Structure 1
Amino acid sequence: MSTEQNILDELEWRGLIADSTDREALREAFSSGSVKFYVGFDPTAPSLHMGHLVQILTAKRLQAAGHTPYALVGGATGTIGDPKETGERVMNSLDVVKEWVDRVRSQIEPFLSFEGDNGATMVNNYDWTASMSVIDFLRDIGKHFPVNRMLARDVVRTRLESGISFTEFSYVLLQSMDFLNLFRDHGVTLQFGGSDQWGNLTAGVELIRRTTGGKAHAIATPLMTKADGTKYGKTEGGALWLDPQMMSPYAFHQFWLNVEDEKVGELLRVFTFLAREQIEELEAQTAEKPFLRAGQKALADAVTTLVHGEQETEQAKAAAGALFGRGDLHALSGSTLAAALREAGATSFPRAQGTPDIVTLLVDSGLAKSNGDARRTIKEGGAYLNNVRIEDPELVPGDDDFIDGTWLVLRRGKKTMAGVEALG
């Protein structure tokens, strides 16, 4: 049996199908040739995040199996935003959305191939939405949507008490129209997205049936949740962004390195292209010797390499080691070191006021509770500057001690460290 015939089984094994339309019809479609499919990304922020990565990698898997991707960036729907349970979205200007469209496109493109018989196509729903009149929209699209069914959608029911605008209420019509246009103009017969999009996905399938009599399919991928059921994709600093300017590769790598043991197998299946045998072996290692964190290390390396490249992954690993005395701090790039120290915890001082002595720095950085505590730590051999044990409590770091001209790395014992940044 070929890869194409097995792709549904592969998606199921990886836990990537939370729901779908007719499963046997899907299996038959995948076995009959290259299925044209689409997945949409609304530019409601300047970067995609972890949830979008599930969709991007699913598209990559389908393309690798011989199927044909259409990546839709919502220049139109992005000006509105899919309804949230918590309240109305902020409506961004067309100029802002246009800028974000370009940024989102550039994040998707490296994951797909745009050449060959099943080369990907990038589309923007603004192209077929902007020129459409309200009358045409209501006549051609709106008449196929019974209001009672729209009111039954979970997110709409949740928002009815607090209030939902007609704009967000109508979002499902726009997404369904996207599927209809891609079905008519490009022969796209499958749409997938997160399980929170299931109502929109099936509405598009139904619109195609009502207007053309054609058959289309939908797949919903699961939402990623932690062991306690709360959503993944949030860190102390916000969403798990793919843009390295919004979340450093070091912080990104650290996130995956610190996932719970219970979730390692699931995340390896969803976010990596490791073979089944490799994943099962890593799951076994994690269960037998969790302190080695073999699964987390493989996960962090694989996902960071996919998103940021091998060089950034190696820099992130080197930084983690160097900060705790297992590597050369001076070998790190300035940007990696800065990101790692800010992630770990950093303090600063104005360069113009002169460099404080080491006791003051240990206290200001939070590594010591008081001057006396700092002096005792130094006397006992537990304080380090740039991974070198501090012998003199009167030490004032000199210009040569500042890594990249800006940073000092302080450590107390083996596991507690902080950065100090000279400003100006």
Structure 2
Amino acid sequence: MTDVLEDLQWRGLIALSTDLDELRAEMAKGPITYYCGFDPTAPSLHIGNLLQVLTVRRLQLAGHRPLALVGGATGLIGDPRPSAERQLNSADTVAEWVERIKRHIEPYLDFSGSNAAQIVNNYDWTAPMSAIDFLREIGKHFRVNKMLTKDAVSARLNSDAGISYTEFSYQILQGMDFLELYRRYGCKLQTGGSDQWGNLTAGTDLIHRVEGVSVHLLATPLLVNSAGEKLGKSTGGGSLWMDAEMTSPYALYQYFVNLEDALVGGLLRKLTFLEREEIEEIEKESAERPSARIGQRRLAEEMTKIVHGAEETAQVIAASQALFGRGSLGELTASTLRAALSEAGLVSAPAGSTVADLFIAAGLASSRNEARRTVAEGGAYVNNERVGDAEEVVPAERALAGGLLVLRKGKRTFAGVEFVAG
């Protein structure tokens, strides 16, 4: 019951907390009920959210009882950002996103047994409450001077944009969530991201005022790269979403394969369930052979398995190898192949085009002369087969699944072509 705290600390998953000794003593008495909240601000969770989901899972594996809160109410309000006001989404949109996010969370938790997980929606207890009741029963316990000190609030107060009462009230709603879960389920621990610390403490303060008891908080660190950008939201090429239609399994895998060395060890600890000894061995091998990217490949494999499953991961790894001539392209599904080629660059061309036409269309050659030179030097490939004639016509029958072709220049530069009717 308590060893999980040591494991979380070793993995670097505790950035902030209330009193760990008191929490450890509480856990030693038996399973505790805890919760983590997820607001439906998009149709998918991202990798930053996944860190929270996996932390919830780790605590459940240790025997504790999880509540996954999907914020149907707080999603309608918007958590304050330091920069500008959030765009409020319609009630129908938020309700749809609530259902989608539930489906993202469910595979990671166990809904049976003595510590079965539950998914709850704060809209259930917030919507029936009148504004007068909210102000009288909850609002009276909050002190405005303290609310103004929250980082996101103070940043906005000092900006030209200011902050609306709608976003200012978010911390009151989140505090009410913890109080409600304490009353309904005996919930004594909330987990969340360290950037949410101000909102997290709103709940502990409210419960202490209203119920006269102390409850606990654990905040995980933000996942950021060396430039300080969040991995889940600001990756340069867009967000790393958990939804396969928003970030393909291939794109997710490639992101972690190409991760900078300094981040790999920490992410193996935080985002995988590998044991300590195995992670330390991977780190040792990576230090001895950095060019082999052993850590990155293992991290990419584990992450893709966690998010998309073993079968999809096998397809992604096969695609990664096949695109560079180390496997069979014909064994790839159309969806995997399309996702991989979309990352590299996918263009359309009519069936019956010449090799030179295709290389120019795909951006692998700037001119017909360059295309001919690449072919003459033995560096042009169509579907991993070396081409000997730049003017060779490529018929529709050469296409792979989904009417796709893989063009490669040299060993590492490739692009995709989708045949269309000429």
Q: What's the TM-score once normalised by structure 1's chain length?
A: 0.97
Q: Which moved more, 1:264-273 or 1:392-401?
A: 392-401
Specify the code of the residue in structure 2 equivalent to 1:402. A
Kindly state the Cα deviation for residue 413 of structure 1 after the two structures are TM-superposed: 0.5
Secondary structure of 1:411 counterpart: strand
CA distance in 2, matches of 1:227, 1:163: 30
Q: Where in structure 1 do 4 or more consecutive aligned residues deviate above 4 Å?
A: none
Secondary structure of 1:235 counterpart: coil
Other-structure match for 1:304: 304
CA distance in 2, matches of 1:154, 1:304: 34
Unaligned 5+ residue runs, structure 1?
none
Q: Does 1:147 align with 2:144?
A: yes
Unaligned 5+ residue runs, structure 2?
none
Kindly state the Cα deviation for residue 404 of structure 1 after the two structures are TM-superposed: 1.5
Specify the code of the residue in structure 2 equivalent to 1:218. L
Contact in 1 for aligned 2:229/2:235 (Cα 8 Å): no
CA distance in 1, matches of 2:136, 2:187: 23
Kindly state the Cα deviation for residue 422 of structure 1 after the two structures are TM-superposed: 2.1
Specify the code of the residue in structure 2 equivalent to 1:174. L
Kindly state the Cα deviation for residue 260 of structure 1 after the two structures are TM-superposed: 1.1
Other-structure match for 2:46: 49
Secondary structure of 1:238 counterpart: coil
Other-structure match for 1:103: 100
Contact in 1 for aligned 2:396/2:403 (Cα 8 Å): no
Kindly state the Cα deviation for residue 240 of structure 1 after the two structures are TM-superposed: 0.4
Kindly state the Cα deviation for residue 355 of structure 1 after the two structures are TM-superposed: 3.5
Secondary structure of 2:166 counterpart: helix
Kindly state the Cα deviation for residue 231 of structure 1 after the two structures are TM-superposed: 2.2
Give the root-mean-square deviation of aligned CA atoms.
Answer: 1.0
Contact in 2 for aligned 1:66/1:118 (Cα 8 Å): yes
Matching of residues 283-298 of structure 1 within 5 Å? 283-298=283-298
Deviations 1:159-212 (A, max 9, x none): 112211100000000000000000011100000100010011111000000001
Q: Which moved more, 1:47-56 or 1:394-403?
A: 394-403
Specify the code of the residue in structure 2 equivalent to 1:82. D
Match of 1:159 among 150, 156, 161: 156
CA distance in 2, matches of 1:181, 1:5: 25
Other-structure match for 1:323: 323
Q: Does 1:20 align with 2:17?
A: yes
Work out the percentage of aligned pairs sharing the same amino acid: 56
Number of matched pairs: 418
Matching of residues 2-401 of structure 1 within 5 Å? 4-160=1-157, 161=159, 162-233=161-232, 234-349=234-349, 351=350, 354-401=351-398
Q: What's the TM-score once normalised by structure 2's chain length?
A: 0.97
Kindly state the Cα deviation for residue 157 of structure 1 after the two structures are TM-superposed: 1.1
CA distance in 2, matches of 1:178, 1:420: 51
Deviations 1:314-342 (A, max 9, x none): 00000011111111111000000000000
Kindly state the Cα deviation for residue 280 of structure 1 after the two structures are TM-superposed: 0.6
CA distance in 2, matches of 1:79, 1:423: 44
Specify the code of the residue in structure 1 equivalent to 2:286. T
Q: 1:172 to 1:405 in 2, by over 3 A?
A: closer
Secondary structure of 2:372 counterpart: helix
